[in-house]
Amino acid sequence: KPHIDCITSRRTIRIPGLIDVHVHLREPGASYKEDFATGTAAALAGGFTMVCVMPNTQPAVIDKATLIVVKEIAKKNARCDYALFMGGTEKNFNEIPDLSSLVAGLKLYLNDTFTTLKMNDITMWGKHFEHWPLNVPLCVHAESKTCAAAILVACLHNRPVHICHVSLREEIELIKAAKLKGLPITCEVTPHHLFFTQQDLTWLGQQMGQVRPMLATEDDQNALWENLQVIDCFASDHAPHTKEEKRSDKPPPGFPGLETMLPLFLTAVNDGRLTLDDVVNRLYYNPKKIFNLPDQPNTYVEIDMETEWKVVEDNLFTKCKWSPFGGRTMKGSVCRVVLRGEVAYVDGQVLVPPGFGFDLRELQLRQPFQAPKDSHNSSLEGGRSTPMFGKTKELT
Amino acid sequence: KPHIDCITSRRTIRIPGLIDVHVHLREPGASYKEDFATGTAAALAGGFTMVCVMPNTQPAVIDKATLIVVKEIAKKNARCDYALFMGGTEKNFNEIPDLSSLVAGLKLYLNDTFTTLKMNDITMWGKHFEHWPLNVPLCVHAESKTCAAAILVACLHNRPVHICHVSLREEIELIKAAKLKGLPITCEVTPHHLFFTQQDLTWLGQQMGQVRPMLATEDDQNALWENLQVIDCFASDHAPHTKEEKRSDKPPPGFPGLETMLPLFLTAVNDGRLTLDDVVNRLYYNPKKIFNLPDQPNTYVEIDMETEWKVVEDNLFTKCKWSPFGGRTMKGSVCRVVLRGEVAYVDGQVLVPPGFGFDLRELQLRQPFQAPKDSHNSSLEGGRSTPMFGKTKELT
Ligand SMILES: [Zn+2]
Ligand SMILES: [Zn+2]
Ligand SMILES: [Zn+2]
Ligand SMILES: [Zn+2]
Ligand SMILES: [Zn+2]
Ligand SMILES: [Zn+2]
Ligand SMILES: [Zn+2]
Ligand SMILES: [Zn+2]
């Protein structure tokens, strides 16, 4: 990181330790791309003290045995706190509900993606929507008509659903209408869908530019910005692949994003496109509520809103060492991250070792009656009992 | 037809003049396949005295000028009564609601079909769902996830929708759940999806066997039969193409069906798979209610439940002169059709000329306060005011 000295910086602001509810850390099975140690270092460098980790690893987290194995790996290697998702398959809908208190939530892949977890048959979706506990998040990769279909299935089963990486006008308008109708739908949008369009493929290249959902049109991008109030969360969908893989004949889809997401939004705050409250709501309060994540005592991030700096790919903590935002100038940076009283990151250095991170669900199981600790916005803090679905809370 | 003499037949039954809510008569633009005179002759031979005619002609019925032209053609040539659908496009959602009282309903093509009318963008669907009057049918070609998406859009706009040619387990189960939830969804199923599966492609051939939705699996077929109570209407989706076209490199999808639908169901009644009431509900009472069609005085069909006969393609009235059910033995046939007091069809002969048929919507506009006439089942007869959405009425 370009040696920003935050102590002498003109203006630092303290915000909560942020939450990225959608990251792929590639371990087990592809730790040459990323692993828990490097991915959570990238998280801390990006201002995140909690991440929710996707299950499409090799093996995929679809049963108790694999969950236990991956929990062990995560426990030894994560530097920030985390919760692990389970993946739904055509077969596991009966067994996995018993594991629901141990995981971030259930992830269903309802569209073509870079995974073996795709479920085509709506009847099979229904089994998961029926069996998965109502109070544990159910997240879907569901684009376009599949997004509409997923919302209908949630509606028919009277349950909440969280729509991952919304990218199209038709999706965000549908979600808006669904929320107006009172359906408990929440959603997230990635920085790359907010800051890129398919026009950017001309310089990114068709290979490096591969991502799912694909980069969309300017009209789709405008729809996301116009409907900021409909967007509950920002999430990176941090999905690292090596440069070699991305440049190959069959480039796998996905961008790394943990280290560039917050700076992109801080730059947008500086540009007057949104407020810092808009950002903190979508990277902390709403994710915390929707995913029922605990307080982290003595945890905060110091950001500098003034300094301009350039993304240097070699300086990234992600193992893949590239970013579609490489070379981009940002105004706003992460100075320091304090996690449970420890300085976990400061001025370009990650200071906490692998294993410092906690499994948030295990923590919650050991402290089931944990009271809200953050008095600054008590209406938003309610522990596990009152999830705020379908609303985007504005800080007052 | 194989010279069935109904007078000496063992047992004839009188049923109402039936309604096929989904036929393609190919005029204008492809009258070498079918036209109003031949298509409505096929209707009468099949026991139908009303047909609802799809708008994907050339030109397509998507504006007032074309509607007027096609109404003139229909008026001069139809032998049975009819109503014409309009098609939705990305542009006509503002103009066509004014024409709604003149047409059978609005048809939206939301999936790939043999038409130029496909609408991909869910946002555009919404414009039609919003503007089209609530009390005039809105029908969709929407398969699989698109079916789910269409139901959601209808739900979000608080309006009824009629799902054409349901063919998959996931579709019928979704519609069942939607009805249980109280959503005003209705649907139709074709005879070819009830009596064929993709196994039949081995003898039909991939070319002759092309149809949309494609013939499905045995599991899908079983789901339709298991959920007979969820099926509001049977409809032929009569979609004639010439044998030459069907045998070509790019065979257009579609089967003729008007003349074989009722015999297939009568055979199924004889086989104990459903009752005659099941058939008449789905080919008369429910279509009449859902599509708000008028009484036809002195109109009925005499059927013979006993005689076995074989479908001979050369004897068909449809101009395309073939049927996927050609050669099949049926038990049950149409003996005589009386339409407004005239014998329109008897023992293999159509006796009414082109122009005998009425445009049912024009008729209703001239007789807006028409009272129910059929006392035999008065709870089901209510004129235009009380459409029975989402229920399948059983005759008592
Ligand atoms: Zn269910
Ligand atoms: Zn079950
Ligand atoms: Zn995804
Ligand atoms: Zn992802
Ligand atoms: Zn709308
Ligand atoms: Zn409008
Ligand atoms: Zn169709
Ligand atoms: Zn059709």
Q: By C-alpha distance, which of B277, B286, B283 is closest to B381?
A: B286
Which of B123, B152, B169 is nearest residue A152 as measured by Cβ atoms? B152
pLDDT at A377 over 50: no
Mean of pLDDT values over B299-327: 97
How close is the nearest chain B Cα to the Cα of A137, in Å? Answer: 21
Residues of A in contact with B181 (CB under 8 A): 155-156
| Binary contact (A149, B149; C-beta < 8 A) | yes
Q: How far is the CA of A293 from the centre of ligand 2 (A)?
A: 28
| Binary contact (A149, B153; C-beta < 8 A) | no
How close is the nearest chain A Cα to the Cα of B183, in Å? Answer: 10
Interface contact B169, partner A, CB < 8 A? yes
Q: Nearest residue of A to residue B178 by CA position?
A: A156
Mean of pLDDT values over B32-37: 98
Q: Nearest residue of B to residue A179 by CA position?
A: B156
Ligand nearest to the CA of B23: 8
Residues A288/A19, Cβ–Cβ less than 8 Å: yes
| Binary contact (A152, B123; C-beta < 8 A) | no
Interface contact B351, partner A, CB < 8 A? no
| Binary contact (B178, A156; C-beta < 8 A) | yes
pLDDT at A276: 98
Ligand nearest to the CA of A97: 2
Interface contact A273, partner B, CB < 8 A? no
Q: How far is the CA of B294 from the centre of ligand 7 (A)?
A: 25
pLDDT at B374 over 90: no
Residues of B in contact with A156 (CB under 8 A): 174, 177-178, 181
Which of A123, A146, A173 is nearest residue B169 as measured by Cβ atoms? A123
How close is the nearest chain B Cα to the Cα of A156, in Å? Answer: 6
ipTM of this complex prediction, to 2 decimal places: 0.86
How far, CA to CA in Å, does A205 sit from each of A199, A211, A247, A257? Answer: 10, 12, 9, 18
pLDDT at A42: 98
pTM given for the model: 0.89
**How far is Cα A346 from Cα B245, in angstroms, rounded to an integer?**
72
Name the percent of chain B lying above pLDDT 90: 87
Q: How far is the CA of B127 from the centre of ligand 6 (A)?
A: 6
Interface contact B19, partner A, CB < 8 A? no
Segment A5-38, tens digit of pLDDT: 555 556 799 999 999 999 999 999 999 999 999 9
pLDDT at A358 over 70: yes
pLDDT at B376: 42
pLDDT at A6: 58
| b (16+ CB within 10 A) / e for A367-384 | eeeeeeeeeebeebbeee
- Tell me, letter by letter, the H, E, C secondary structure of chain A: CCCCCCCCCCCEEEEECEEEEEECCCCCCCCCCCCHHHHHHHHHHCCEEEEEECCCCCCCCCCHHHHHHHHHHHHHHCCCEEEEEEECCCCCCCCHHHHHHHCCEEEEECCCCCCCCECCCHHHHHHHHHHCCCCCCEEEECCCHHHHHHHHHHHHCCCCEEECCCCCHHHHHHHHHHHHCCCCEEEEECHHHHHCCHHHHHHHCCCCCCCCCCCCCHHHHHHHHHCHHHCCEECCCECCCCHHHHCCCCCCCCCCCCCCHHHHHHHHHHCCCCCHHHHHHHHHHHHHHHCCCCCCCCCEEEEEEEEEEECCHHHCCCCCCCCCCCCCEEEEEEEEEEECCEEEEECCEECCCCCCCCEHHHHHHHCCCCCCCCHHHHHHCCCCCCCCCCCCCCCC
Segment A147-170, tens digit of pLDDT: 999 999 999 999 999 999 999 999
| Binary contact (A148, B153; C-beta < 8 A) | yes
Q: Nearest residue of B to residue A110 by CA position?
A: B145
CA-based end-to-end distance of chain B: 33
pLDDT at A188: 98
**How far is Cα B158 from Cα A186, in angstroms, rounded to an integer?**
21
pLDDT at A277: 98
pLDDT at B389: 40
How close is the nearest chain A Cα to the Cα of B181, in Å? Answer: 7
Q: What length does chain B have? A: 396
Q: How far is the CA of A138 from the centre of ligand 1 (A)?
A: 14
Q: How far is the CA of A307 from the centre of ligand 6 (A)?
A: 46
Q: Between these two residues, B189 and B116, which has the higher pLDDT value?
A: B189
Question: How would residue B238 be classed by pLDDT, with cut points 50, 70 and 90?
Answer: very high
pLDDT at A209 over 50: yes
Mean of pLDDT values over B170-183: 97
How far, CA to CA in Å, does B91 sit from each of B108, B216, B279? Answer: 12, 33, 38
Mean of pLDDT values over A360-366: 96
pLDDT at B117: 87
Q: Which residue has the tokens 């199981």?
A: A365
Residues A392/A286, Cβ–Cβ less than 8 Å: yes
Q: Nearest residue of B to residue A121 by CA position?
A: B170
Segment A257-294, tens digit of pLDDT: 999 999 999 999 999 999 999 999 999 999 999 999 99
Q: How far is the CA of B41 from the centre of ligand 8 (A)?
A: 19
Q: Give the DSSP letter of residue B213.
A: S
Q: How many CA atoms lie within 13 A of A134 on its CB side?
A: 9
Cβ-Cβ contacts under 8 Å between A and B: the total is: 67
Mean of pLDDT values over B372-385: 40
Segment B75-96, tens digit of pLDDT: 999 999 999 999 999 999 999 9
The alpha carbon dihedral of A380, A383, A386, A387 has a sign of positive
H or E element in which residue B106 lies: strand B105-109
| Binary contact (A174, B156; C-beta < 8 A) | yes
Interface contact A146, partner B, CB < 8 A? yes
| Binary contact (A123, B151; C-beta < 8 A) | no
Average pLDDT, chain B: 92
Q: How far is the CA of A157 from the centre of ligand 2 (A)?
A: 12
Interface contact B170, partner A, CB < 8 A? yes
Segment A110-121, tens digit of pLDDT: 987 666 788 989
Question: How would residue B396 be classed by pLDDT, with cut points 50, 70 and 90?
Answer: very low
**How far is Cα A304 from Cα A333, in angstroms, rounded to an integer?**
5
H or E element in which residue B248 lies: none
The number of beta carbons lying within 10 Å of the beta carbon of residue A228 is 15
**How far is Cα B169 from Cα B178, in angstroms, rounded to an integer?**
14
In B94-133, the residues whose Cβ lies within 8 Å of chain A are 121-123, 126
pLDDT at B386: 35
- Cβ-in-10-Å burial (0-12, 13-18, 19+) of A249 comes to exposed
In A46-105, the residues whose Cβ lies within 8 Å of chain B are none
Residues A48/A80, Cβ–Cβ less than 8 Å: yes
pLDDT at A4: 53
Mutate to test the interface with B, among A147, A152, A163 (most CBs of B within 10 A): A152
| Binary contact (A122, B149; C-beta < 8 A) | no
Question: How would residue A187 be classed by pLDDT, with cut points 50, 70 and 90?
Answer: very high
Average pLDDT, chain A: 92
Mutate to test the interface with B, among A109, A111, A122 (most CBs of B within 10 A): A122
| Binary contact (B170, A122; C-beta < 8 A) | yes
